[in-house]
Structure 1
């Protein structure tokens, strides 16, 4: 398999997982801003961005 084929499969798997995850939430939950949700429900979580831009 080529690198492009592997990348395409990984992208498709990620999109499928995202659609599945979204199906577990109500419309109201999906409309909640992510940062607000984390502040309320996971106050001790922090996100760090590396010098190369990766999280």
Structure 2
């Protein structure tokens, strides 16, 4: 029995950037990296401050 769906369901190559939800994954990774980095810096500086008391 043959499938009635032809072609690829997921876009590939530069076609990934033609839709808004697929295009937003790049800023998502950038902002999550920045947020994680700021969190670790905050934890490290807080530990130094706590140790100095």
For the superposition of Structure 1 and Structure 2, which TM-score range results when normalised by the shorter chain? 0.3 to 0.5
Query: Scaled by the length of structure 2, what TM-score is found?
Result: 0.46
Query: Scaled by the length of structure 1, what TM-score is found?
Result: 0.44
- Relative to its length, the structure with more helix (as a share) is 2
